[in-house]
Amino acid sequence: GSYEHLEKITKKLFDGIVAAGKEHGHAVCGGNISGMGGFFFTEGPVNCFADAAKSDKDKFGRWHRMMLERGVYLAPSQFEAAFTSLAHTEEDIDRTIEIAREVMSLL
């Protein structure tokens, strides 16, 4: 059940980040596969580099910086994948989503 758990928490994390962005009116899309995921500040879908290049890179940079200031470290570029691990708890994921929601409200 380890891989199933990893898929579950990773999906919850990236679905939560995307939902937080949309909740606050941002164009955002993303997803995951197993323990790897990411998102983009664009309407999407993102299927190739040309789609990804249309993302708001400045907004991502501000978002990433504000997340770091709150103790959350994710991939520092929209063009990189972020990874979860079996060490991440449901509480870690919930807390990260709450911080993402706060930061999305400030962008």
pTM assigned to the model: 0.93
Q: What is the mean pLDDT of residues 34-59?
A: 95
pLDDT band at 70, cuts 50/70/90? very high
Whole-number pLDDT of residue 103: 98
Phi/psi zone of residue 76: left (φ > 0), alpha (ψ -120 to 50 degrees), beta?
A: alpha
Whole-number pLDDT of residue 5: 95
User: CB-hemisphere CA count at 13 Å for 5?
Assistant: 8
pLDDT band at 82, cuts 50/70/90? very high
The whole-angstrom distance between residue 83's C-alpha and the CA centroid of its chain comes to 10
The alpha-carbon radius of gyration of the chain (Å, integer) is 13
Given a contact cutoff of 8 angstroms between Cβ atoms, the answer to whether 52 and 44 are in contact is no
In sequence order, what are the residues at sequence separation of 6 or more whose Cβ sits closer than 8 angstroms to the Cβ of residue 69?
A: none
